[in-house]
């Protein structure tokens, strides 16, 4: 299914006839042209179940969100599919006291399994979200960057319930603009997600930098980056890494960041408290080797 929210009716632009129903407002688009859905926290879009949803073995969702309200103290539902509180495949919620995402599904082992976003979702800024479910693997991408992933204890169970967008029948909703919601019967590849999220970092690219560690010592930071990445230098931090970290909500962990230094700088600073002290913790950003 594909909801652009550019028309008066909640039309499925994929051609698969998964049209929705519900009263929503009109907001600005995440793109140059068109519109978005304005959801006030009490409005709900409902899409009836179809075999396309229930027969999918893999599932991906992508969308743009512009949060208009901070945490309220309640769990708030953005997307849910199910006919009762124990049918959750898939469900995306916001934490009560943090703007972190709670992504869950029902499995053959337990009715409630999933993950939390590491990042805080920024207020009043377009953010691209992708959720990929394949077998027992669940992944969450924010602005094209892999934010978190988990291997679920059981195989994901689909359900015959309706798809709810904006809220569900059991929880409050999210006050936001929502745009370009797409649902795929496949597990999207990281390159496909990067392509959809590319306008979030048009001059840098979504895979320019990743989060190495949330809070670690300098010694730990040296081995925090995955293959194909290295600890960012000062020039790389100021050339775009800081920007991506801010857009992805990573500065909730730490406002200070380790930087790669030359060998002469390392030797010069080896005796300083920061580099030599295992109790001083900073965030590590990893820049691409390419």
Q: What are the tens digits of pLDDT across the range 173-224? A: 999 999 999 999 999 999 999 899 988 665 556 678 888 998 999 889 989 9
Mean pLDDT across the chain, nearest whole number? 90
Half-sphere exposure of 105 (CA within 13 A, CB side): 29
| Closest among 139, 195, 156, 152 to 58, alpha carbons compared | 156
Query: 154-168, 229-243, 245-259: which has the highest mean pLDDT?
Result: 154-168
Residue 265's pLDDT is what?
A: 54
pTM: 0.84
Q: What are the tens digits of pLDDT across the range 80-130? A: 999 999 999 999 999 999 999 999 999 999 999 999 999 899 999 999 999
Q: What angle do CA 89, 94, 100 make, to 5 degrees?
A: 110
Residue 240's pLDDT is what?
A: 84
Reduce the DSSP state of residue 69 to 3 states and report it.
Answer: coil
Q: What angle do CA 139, 127, 44 make, to 5 degrees?
A: 85
């Amino acid at each position: 299914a594909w909801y652009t929210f550019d028309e008066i009716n909640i039309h499925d632009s994929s051609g698969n006839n998964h049209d929705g129903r519900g009263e929503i407002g009109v907001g600005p688009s995440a793109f140059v042209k068109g519109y978005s859905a304005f959801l006030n926290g009490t409005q709900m879009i409902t899409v009836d179940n179809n075999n396309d949803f229930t027969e999918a073995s893999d599932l991906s969702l992508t969308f743009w969100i512009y949060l208009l309200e901070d945490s309220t103290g309640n769990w708030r539902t953005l997307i849910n599919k199910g006919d009762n509180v124990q049918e959750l495949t898939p469900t995306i919620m916001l934490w009560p006291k943090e703007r972190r995402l709670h992504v869950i599904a029902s499995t053959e082992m337990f009715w409630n399994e999933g993950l939390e976003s590491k990042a805080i979702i920024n207020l009043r800024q377009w953010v691209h979200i992708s959720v990929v479910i394949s077998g027992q693997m669940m992944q969450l991408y924010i602005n094209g960057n892999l934010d978190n992933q988990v291997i679920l204890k059981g195989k994901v169970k689909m359900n015959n319930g309706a798809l709810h967008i904006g809220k569900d029948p059991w929880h409050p909703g999210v006050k936001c603009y929502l745009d370009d919601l797409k649902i795929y019967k496949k597990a999207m590849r990281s390159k496909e997600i990067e392509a959809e999220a590319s306008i979030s970092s048009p001059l840098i690219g979504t895979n320019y930098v990743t989060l190495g560690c949330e809070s670690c010592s300098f010694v730990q930071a040296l081995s925090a980056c995955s293959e194909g990445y290295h600890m960012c230098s000062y020039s790389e931090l100021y050339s775009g890494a800081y920007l991506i970290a801010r857009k992805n909500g990573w500065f909730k962990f730490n406002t200070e960041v380790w930087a790669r230094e030359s060998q002469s700088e390392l030797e010069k600073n080896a005796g300083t408290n920061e580099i030599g002290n295992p109790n001083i913790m900073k965030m590590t950003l990893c820049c691409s080797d390419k």
